[in-house]
Structure 1
Amino acid sequence: MQKVFGLSGLVSSALAVVTRLILGAIVLLVLYDVAMRNLARPVAWTASFIEILLIYVAFLPMPWLVRQKGHVCADFLRHALPPGARRAAEKLVCLLAIGICLYLGGIAFELFAENVRTGAYDVRSFDVPRWSIYLPMVVGMWLSAVEFLRFLFGEDSLYAVDVRDIEGF
């Protein structure tokens, strides 16, 4: 199981790097779009391309954020519980998060597989294979489920975090 968690960590870190590159590309595309609107003729494809990239930016870093405890949580209710109940509540939260990630990842996978099978395209200012829109959802959700599983079976707490321990800070 530790090998799976280690591999998940490597893939999650790689996806976080890819996300940073995509964010840089989005910034450059916005600058290009604004410049072209003011200096020459507007470019039709940049807004559509950025919309697709934003889907990747939303889903690809999810497992890394879970691993680094960079997700948003409100744990005021957990702090009101006695210590033993806190750990039980944390396990329940992990189980719920795993279930949600697997369920939503399964729906995204069904849509991904259907669009691969049919060869459907999303028609915008340019044609995009529709499966490419669902792929980051599948990857992000399922790898996030693995990361929540790591908290469920590991010694590390989902809630205990020191900002200095978060990669990138």
Structure 2
Amino acid sequence: MHYASQLYRGLLNGMAVVAALTLVWLMVAVVLSVLMRNFGLQPWSWLFVSTEYGMFYLTLLGAPWLVREKGHVHIELLTAALPPTMLQVVSRLVALLCVLACAVLAWKGFDLVMTHIERGSTDTRGGYFIPRWILTSAYPICFGLMAIEFFRFVVGRDLLHSGQAGIAE
């Protein structure tokens, strides 16, 4: 079980590293595109396509790690005013609602991927034909992992909310 836990944590960390590297790529691609335009050159079509998909994957690949680290944005004004017992209930209820939302999105994402595979759908941008299932495969994976991470806050010792306003600042 310890090995599986390490493997799972490595998966989340690896996805976060890919997201961080994608962010670096986005910076390089935008700067390169602007420089090319300033010199009167037409930027390569794949440069624009890679930034579009990069923003998509950056968001989804980093999200499960962000949930694990409690790095998501939330307002703690209400939870900071709650007594400890009520904080436990509210925090776990919010985490459960997040599990349900992520599970639904993972399921619908899986359905979308399967639909694209069955239809053989492709995305054509800049002269490149990319199977749509490749583009949408991040939905079920990332939302499924986020559901797992939120579920840890439903049943685990740690709470999703600290109960202290401004603690992360």
Match of 1:104 in 2: 105
Structure 1 residues 104 and 7 mapped into 2: Cα distance closer, same or farther (>3 Å)? Answer: same
Q: Give TM-score, length-normalised by structure 2.
A: 0.87
Task: Say whether 1:22 aligns with 2:15.
Answer: no
Counterpart in 2 of 1:71?
72
| Inter-partner Cα distance in structure 2 for 1:6 and 1:158 | 22
Alignment correspondent of 1:167: none
Structure 1 partner of 2:37: 37
Moved more, 60-69 or 121-130: 121-130
SS in 2 for 1:158: coil
Contact 1:101 1:141 in 2 (8 A): yes
Aligned residues: 164
Determine the structure 2 residue equivalent to 1:48. 49
The question of whether the paired residues in 1 share the 8 Å contact of 2:92 and 2:159 is answered with: no
- The ranges of structure 1 where at least 4 consecutive aligned residues each deviate by more than 3 angstroms after the TM superposition are 1-8, 161-164
Gaps in structure 2 of 5+ consecutive residues: none
Determine helix, strand or coil for the equivalent of 2:65.
helix
SS in 1 for 2:57: helix
Contact 1:63 1:144 in 2 (8 A): yes
- Normalising by structure 1, what TM-score? 0.87
Q: Distance in 2 between matches of 1:31 and 1:80?
A: 46
Shift of 1:75: 2.1
Identity of counterpart residues, as a percentage? 32
Pairing 1:148-163 to 2, within 5 Å after superposition: 148-160=150-162
Counterpart pick for 1:136 among 138, 144, 155 = 138
Contact 2:49 2:125 in 1 (8 A): yes
Query: Using a 3 Å threshold, how does the CA distance of structure 1 residues 72 and 4 change in structure 2: closer, same or farther?
Result: farther
Contact 1:104 1:141 in 2 (8 A): yes
Deviation at 1:81, TM superposition (A): 2.4
The Cα shift of 1:34 comes to 1.5
| 1:62 and 1:140 in contact (8 A); partners too | yes
Amino acid at match of 2:14: A
AA aligned to 1:141 is F
